[in-house]
Amino acid sequence: MSELRKDPIVGRWVIISVERGKRPTDFVSPSQRKKGGFCPFCPGHEHTAPPEIMAFRPSGSPKDSPGWTLRVVPNKFPALQIHGELSKTGEGIFDKMNGIGAHEVVIETQDHNLALSTMPLKAVEDALWAYYMRLNDLKKDQRFKYVLIFKNEGEDAGASLEHTHTQLIALPIVPKLVKEEIDAAEKYFDFKDRCIFCDVINQELEDGRRVIYENKGYLALAPFAPRAPFETWILPKKHESAFYPPDKDFSLLADILQRILRQIDRILDVPPYNFIVHTSPFYDEANDYYHWHIEIMPKLTKIAGFEWGSGFYINPTPPEEAAKFMREAKI
Amino acid sequence: MSELRKDPIVGRWVIISVERGKRPTDFVSPSQRKKGGFCPFCPGHEHTAPPEIMAFRPSGSPKDSPGWTLRVVPNKFPALQIHGELSKTGEGIFDKMNGIGAHEVVIETQDHNLALSTMPLKAVEDALWAYYMRLNDLKKDQRFKYVLIFKNEGEDAGASLEHTHTQLIALPIVPKLVKEEIDAAEKYFDFKDRCIFCDVINQELEDGRRVIYENKGYLALAPFAPRAPFETWILPKKHESAFYPPDKDFSLLADILQRILRQIDRILDVPPYNFIVHTSPFYDEANDYYHWHIEIMPKLTKIAGFEWGSGFYINPTPPEEAAKFMREAKI
């Protein structure tokens, strides 16, 4: 089983695979992903993945058989293990716990060649529904405090398979950056009695230079201090603390998410990217101070190494220009 | 001029190049570094870089001429600009300042094919001396609070030139992760009246499993909760808050630094890597709670995209195993 370990100085938790650890030689000649090789996510190969957790498929069609439009399966090589009791221990100055958690994969389309940007809009809506349903289900497990929902699209963004998919990792802790963001928002609320994200939204809508797109429910913007070129945030315009649309309707979110991903594909020639859903932890889902949102980060530069070590970013593209290019993209 | 901008939520400062911003097309077809192309850092090409700030060269040999063994020059494409007054302004909810700072490059050898791991030990010692001298000089500038000293080695670690070099960026702010680390160490000291790094060193020396190498002055270890495989920290064994050796002798630090880099080269086949010197800010250099050190991060995996967005790391190699491989490396 893996372990969750906490850095004693800055309090950052990491998952360490203590059992099947990678040896130096595993890194020396990283195998290149073969284009067109065997794909475990394609229809007909359902049994090469662990049994499905849920799927959108014609009623009556058996589990783990073709015919689905979306499937959720456990990660075959999970970072954390679902079975067992959470056990927290110390080791002198160090803190750790066993690697209890869930690691799931949402396969949003059976078509190997589609992506969120190119699939039918209805499929994007279904994908958002699936994230939501899995989040709601994992929430019932008292061991978990947070679920990270993220997509690595393209090899350079960390995807190990070509077939598009999104991952959910349920955690017994709240990740450091998420916690920091939430704590900072809470502090702002204590001081101002307003949500800082709502304030940002209002100012950005009035200013306009960093606005990329908006529809009735959501706003997409280039943040004022982006870490990377073309970093884009999608936020609900009305205050919502967690990833649960008030009217259980994902159509407007699907619209803005697909549109942004299409703009990114268009102006940056289908770059690798990551997105992460930032939402409130399970133990404080309904609150006045935190505002859930999606952060999308095209992977364009190779400078991340030094930057994620220092927390200091050098971004060669002003967000005002990035937003303008995005707005003007012909999609 | 560039701008320093602060994220209003988490307080992270980033440098934004507001003038010569990169357009989408600049990212679409990144030019590959040509091996063996023109190198501005090689002897004879001194005049292609801005005039040298300092150099180790035979006495009497003119500035910006060949014959040097080490040179420090301003970065030709600086992220920050040295001239001008620091001006801090608000923009509604947002905070920014003009991009005042220094951005220097230490060229540690005239040999295009050497690296810190392969140059003579004396040259490594000289390199450390140069970092130290530049740090001391930049400290005199009242506008600066911190100097980041870091190396990107290899294209995948963000190096834009093949010829080995280290960068110094003098900043009017303290980078977020540095500040967090310092604040956390201070909090621990308030509680325990001990330096947390000293406590870690003592425990690790007693435990032994994560120790990679030690000499009379320094300890190299695989940290308990490493973000990445083979992450290595080098710390002075005795408490020192800033990167100034008490006896002004860099020989032991050169020994351990070169040895670690050789071990990394050996077992990981000369991987790209980053190192960052973590030291106290200028305004509080001599203190009891912070312990300067160097963090070295081989760049082996491509998973950083999602991880630097969430602050949550999955590391496939336990530090105990990494340390064992490093200890056993035949260098």
CB-closest option in B9, B148, B178 to A181: B9
Greater model confidence, A331 or B108: B108
- The CA-based angle A326-A329-B2, given to 5 degrees, is 35
* A326: CB partners within 8 A, 6+ apart: A212, A213, A222, A230, A232, A260, A263, A264, A267
**β-strands B13-16, A313-315 pairing:** parallel
Query: Which residues from chain B sit within 8 angstroms of residue A223, using beta carbons?
Result: 7
Q: Which of residues 256-315 of A touch B (CB under 8 A)?
A: 267-269, 271-274, 276, 295, 297-315
Q: What pLDDT was estimated at residue A306?
A: 67
- Taking CA atoms, what residue in A is nearest to B173? A312
Cα–Cα nearest to B14, from B23, B22, B5: B5
Query: Which residues from chain B sit within 8 angstroms of residue A268, using beta carbons?
Result: 24, 27-28
pLDDT along chain A (331 residues), means of 10: 92 82 69 68 94 95 95 92 94 95 96 97 97 96 95 88 95 91 96 98 98 97 95 97 86 98 96 95 95 94 66 89 95 86
CB atoms within 10 A of CB B58: 8
CB-closest option in B21, B92, B181 to A203: B92
Average pLDDT over chain B, rounded to an integer:
92
Judged by CB atoms closer than 8 Å, whether chains meet at B306 and A155 is answered as no
Q: What pLDDT was estimated at residue A21?
A: 67
Query: Which residues from chain A sit within 8 angstroms of residue B24, using beta carbons?
Result: 230, 267-268, 325
Q: What pLDDT was estimated at residue A177?
A: 87
Domain A3-23+34-176 fold is: HIT family, subunit A (3.30.428)
Q: What pLDDT was estimated at residue B17?
A: 82
User: How many angstroms separate the CA of residue B183 from the nearest CA in chain A?
Assistant: 9
Distance CA B194, CA A309 (A): 25
Judged by CB atoms closer than 8 Å, whether chains meet at A157 and B306 is answered as yes
β partners of residue B100: B81
Phi, psi angles (nearest 5°) of residue B152:
-105, 110
CB-closest option in A181, A227, A309 to B14: A227
User: How many angstroms separate the CA of residue A319 from the nearest CA in chain B?
Assistant: 8
User: How many angstroms separate the CA of residue B310 from the nearest CA in chain A?
Assistant: 6
CB-closest option in A22, A273, A304 to B317: A22
A59 close to B (CB below 8 A)? no
Q: What pLDDT was estimated at residue A186?
A: 97
Q: How confident is the model at residue B34 (pLDDT cuts 50, 70, 90)?
A: low
Distance CA B84, CA A202 (A): 33
Residue B157 has pLDDT above 50, yes or no: yes
Question: How is residue B165 written in tokens?
Answer: 């070099």
Distance CA B11, CA B97 (A): 14
Exposure string of A122-141, with b = 16+ CB inside 10 Å and e = fewer, is ebbbbbbbbbbebbebbbee
CB atoms within 10 A of CB B59: 4
B63 close to A (CB below 8 A)? no
Cα–Cα nearest to B272, from B153, B170, B169: B153
> For the whole model, what pTM was predicted?
0.93
User: Where do you find CATH 3.30.428.10 in chain B?
Assistant: 3-22+34-175, 177-328
B298 and A1 Cβ atoms separated by less than 8 Å? no
Mean pLDDT within B70-93: 93
Cα–Cα nearest to A211, from A84, A114, A78, A324: A324
CB atoms within 10 A of CB B62: 9
Mean pLDDT within B275-289: 95
Query: Which residues from chain B sit within 8 angstroms of residue A319, using beta carbons?
Result: 16
Query: Which residues from chain B sit within 8 angstroms of residue A11, using beta carbons?
Result: 184
Distance CA A228, CA A220 (A): 16
Judged by CB atoms closer than 8 Å, whether chains meet at B23 and A224 is answered as no
Question: Which amino acid appears at position A224 of this protein?
Answer: F
Question: How is residue A35 written in tokens?
Answer: 């284009």
CB-closest option in A27, A227, A325 to B229: A27
CB atoms within 10 A of CB B216: 9
A176 and A291 Cβ atoms separated by less than 8 Å? no
A97 close to B (CB below 8 A)? no
The residue from B163, B165, B291, B293 that is catalytic is: B165
Cα–Cα nearest to B182, from B316, B282, B96, B325: B282
B36 close to A (CB below 8 A)? no
Length of chain A: 331
Q: Which of residues 110-149 of A touch B (CB under 8 A)?
A: 148
Judged by CB atoms closer than 8 Å, whether chains meet at A313 and B8 is answered as no
Question: How is residue B190 written in tokens?
Answer: 């308030």
Domain B177-328 fold is: HIT family, subunit A (3.30.428)
Q: Of the CATH numbers 3.30.450.20, 3.40.50.1260, 3.40.640.10, 3.30.428.10, which one belongs to the domain with range B3-22+34-175?
A: 3.30.428.10
Question: Which amino acid appears at position B322 of this protein?
Answer: A
Taking only the tens place, the pLDDT of each residue in B187-244 is 999 999 999 999 999 999 999 999 999 999 999 999 999 998 999 999 999 999 999 8
Distance CA A55, CA A282 (A): 24
CB-closest option in A155, A227, A308 to B302: A155
CB-closest option in B175, B299, B304 to A310: B175
Distance CA A130, CA A146 (A): 17
DSSP A225-243: S-SSTT-EEEEESS--SSS
Judged by CB atoms closer than 8 Å, whether chains meet at B312 and A23 is answered as no
Mean pLDDT within B258-286: 95
Helix axes B251-268, B121-138, angle to 10 degrees: 120
Distance CA A151, CA A166 (A): 5
Q: How confident is the model at residue B32 (pLDDT cuts 50, 70, 90)?
A: very low
Distance CA B16, CA A214 (A): 25
User: How many angstroms separate the CA of residue B92 from the nearest CA in chain A?
Assistant: 7
CB atoms within 10 A of CB A257: 24
Judged by CB atoms closer than 8 Å, whether chains meet at A267 and B306 is answered as no
Sign of CA dihedral B97, B98, B100, B101: positive
Q: How confident is the model at residue B21 (pLDDT cuts 50, 70, 90)?
A: low
User: How many angstroms separate the CA of residue A34 from the nearest CA in chain B?
Assistant: 16
CA A222 from chain centre, in angstroms, equals 18
User: How many angstroms separate the CA of residue A2 from the nearest CA in chain B?
Assistant: 9
**β-strands B70-74, B166-171 pairing:** unpaired
Judged by CB atoms closer than 8 Å, whether chains meet at B157 and A306 is answered as yes
